[in-house]
Amino acid sequence: MGALYGAFQAPRSFLARRRLMVRLDSLRDLAIVRAPTGYGKSVAVAQWADAQPRSGVWLSVNSENSSRAPFWVDVVRRLVQAGLLPADDPQTLTLGDIAPDTDLREALRSILGQLRRPALLVIDDAYRLDDALIAQDLVEFVTSTPLEAVVIARTQGTPGQDWSVTAAEPLVITAQELVFSVDEIAELLGDDARAPHVGALLEKTGGIPLLARAIAENIRVRSNGAIRRGDTQDAVARVLHSLVFHSGLADDTVGFALRTSIPDRIDAALAEAITGRKDAAELFDDFEQRGLGAWFRRNDSAWFSYTPGVRDLLRGKAAKLPRTEARRIHATISRYTYERDMAIPAIARAIAAGDLDFAEIAVARYYWLYTGFQWQTVEALLSTVSMPAMRNHPVLAIAMALLLGQFARNRVRTLEYMAIATTGKRLGPGTPPLHRALVATIQAGSMRSLGQEGRARAAARRADAALHEIDPDEVATNESLIAILYGHTGITYLHTGAVDRAIELFEEGALLRSRTMRGPGQVLPNAMAAGVLAAEGRLVEAREHVEVARQLGGPETGIEDWHHRYQGAHYWIAEALLALDAGEVEAAQSFLHEVDRHLHTIEFWPAIALTQAHVDRQLGDPLVGAAAIEAMMRPGARPTTTGYLHDRLHIARAALLLEAGRIAEARTILSSQSTANWDAAIATAQLHLATGQPQRALAVLAEKRAARPSTRAEIDALLLESVAADRLGHSTTARAAASRAEALKRAAALHRPLLFIPNPVAAAIALTERERVLLVHLGSGASRGQIADDLVVSPNTVKSQLRVLYKKLDAGSRDEALQHARDAQLI
């Protein structure tokens, strides 16, 4: 067995950390063991080194060897003393006289190359090293000489050497690996891992070895080796109480600890804001040395966190602070975390401070949390606010409604909070425009969810106006929320037929997206613009938004899985419509399957149903599509929608029935629709073409309408006009209409219109001679008996033959059969 010269000797009574030894056995060149004080770094490495066959040296960094040259001189000296380097080598003897850094590394490479066998260097307290070149030296030497190294570094608030990036692939052992596992706690206590007090000790100490050992020793001393129920809890209380209140801390330092335990984690600046102490960092350094907590850091930020048991003890005492001081502390934390974009603490502390005005500001800013992975946390916080308080703070009521409204089972409670938001405190001219926009947006959404189209559109106009009153600086601060408000206000416009304004708002919201924006504000307006533009036939613009959407996401954005969330539904609609335009019907259906989970949402189910109707047509299943729409529109099957969308769904069903040859049913649906609507006009024109009446089709298409058609509707109308004119023999008109349609298609990059061009039904209905005779008799008004007498057959035979005729004509009665025969020019 080898020996480490100058090694720290771990007490034999200490628990052997077998799993850590296994990890360190995989050492190749360099290992970094990094954790706060009290995590047993040195003990674990010493236990491992003691069992190693390799020889080496242990060096603890101090003020005398923390610089580059003194450090390496000390390393070489110890290697010589350990007999691993020759003592009489001239380079070794003169190493301390080398000044230039370039000469030092070259000299060290030559010296360390003389190692007689592989040697292990353990560097303890490496955080004290003050020259980044030492890390670079070490990486080079462990890869080019027989030297291997284990670096023991402490995590603290003002760290020196950053050993986390010293090599491409070092073995890294973190604080999370150094804490005791439940099995190790059980071994420490000499008990079964399933024993309740084992879990209790692990929870209170966080598994930190220093605390766990101290408490375990306290238990053994007081229980004479026999652990009884309650021993662990009592020992935890005794040890932690002693650490905090009987370890020589001054009263004002204890007061500092009480107040800084209130936030879950705290940095020096927040501690100073709460307590007024300028020496917060130094106090936290002292607390870490005492085992009360630890510094943690990420990138350029560092924060202190008390050990769970210590934090619970301190918070128990802090709960007795005067109410006014406690509220002041919570308010300070709320504003501090708000300024640093820490959403949950900002909201939680504002509510704890009773500052609901500021809570509204924080809730409004962090709107994206409502449907993010932290929605349950936000709901739990808001549920502590009373209903009367909600009435005076409608933004909080709106937030609660949005949180609950994600799930159908919460519909009643959602409407309750929406009612509070819309009937509570009135928002006057002095109310910030952002809050007015938020309230009006939710009012618009609640009105359209109740099918009140006029009120929904009026609320959307109020939201639209308020959004455009917001100061540019406030837009920059709240861009994620404002982008979503643009999106939802646009949705209300869309559902009430103001499609052009909806698209404008979606595109305005999409333009707000910046590199720093987090959450669904990046997604909703862009996805909505993509889906609606694709449905309108403006594929050039739709593709631009789809390309942007494909680039969204990433761990830093808070929306890695945005495409599976509520906000991304219209992105998949856009992808499906683009696939249909490319003739990829199966791909379109696959895209639509991605939004199956949103078929019950108030906002999206009509658009999904309308897109599915196009896919069903292309799949050759128009009757399947018609049946699906009929099922969705049954009372209670889907959330209530607006009259505008209700009509569009009916018209889509009629078009599907028409393509399936169910002319009578299509006619019944379209008879209740006004041809002032472009969708209804196009479907009615299709009906007239199907029944052999091209002149009537042209007349419908020529009617004047207040609204301009969408690109897709305009192309469809021109194609129908071309077909109708051609069937009437008006070839010049037909060519002109077809040419205009082709020009529009090129401009919109639309390759395959989703239009069904019907053939006259007469061409599809083949009647036998006997069926034609039956039609003549029906037209004369003859009864079934009279027809039987005239044709010299039985009444049952006439009945059977009429049944077949009615089926061919898609009719259920004599009158329907005659009307359909006339439409098809059969009589």
pLDDT tens, residue by residue, 586-627: 999 999 998 887 777 777 899 999 999 999 999 999 999 999
Cα gap 284→249, rounded to integer Å: 12
Look at residues 580, 643, 573 and name the one whose alpha carbon lies nearest to residue 609: 573
Cα gap 218→674, rounded to integer Å: 86
Phi, psi at 31, each rounded to 5° = -130, 145
Q: Are 524 and 491 in contact (CB under 8 A)?
A: no
Helix boundaries (H) for 224-279? 231-245, 251-260, 268-275
Confidence class for position 470, pLDDT limits 50, 70, 90 = very high
Amino acid present at 568: G
Statement: residue 791 has pLDDT above 80: yes
Confidence class for position 277, pLDDT limits 50, 70, 90 = very high
Confidence class for position 697, pLDDT limits 50, 70, 90 = very high
Tokens representing 15 are 């628990």
What pLDDT is attached to residue 542?
A: 95
Strand 119-124 and strand 147-154: pairing? parallel
Q: Are 683 and 654 in contact (CB under 8 A)?
A: yes
What pLDDT is attached to residue 228?
A: 56
Please state, for a pLDDT cut of 70, what percent of the chain lies above it: 89
Cα gap 171→131, rounded to integer Å: 22
Beta-sheet strands, E only, within 66-118: none
Look at residues 656, 662, 646 and name the one whose alpha carbon lies nearest to residue 605: 646
Give the least confident one: 250-259, 513-522, 661-670: 513-522
What three-state secondary structure class fits 24?
Answer: helix
Confidence class for position 578, pLDDT limits 50, 70, 90 = very high
Q: Are 180 and 174 in contact (CB under 8 A)?
A: no
What pLDDT is attached to residue 9?
A: 73
What is the per-residue pLDDT across 285-297, written as a single tens digit (0 to 9) for each? 888 878 788 888 7
Look at residues 314, 297, 291, 304 and name the one whose alpha carbon lies nearest to residue 207: 291
Average pLDDT over residues 685-691: 91
What is the per-residue pLDDT across 225-244, written as a single tens digit (0 to 9) for each? 555 555 667 777 787 888 78
Element (H, E) at 504: helix 499-511
Tokens representing 168 are 């491409």
Largest CA distance in the chain: 136
Amino acid present at 278: K
Q: Are 427 and 434 in contact (CB under 8 A)?
A: no
- The neighbour count for residue 171, using CB atoms within 10 Å, is 17
Statement: residue 300 has pLDDT above 90: no
Q: Are 189 and 212 in contact (CB under 8 A)?
A: no
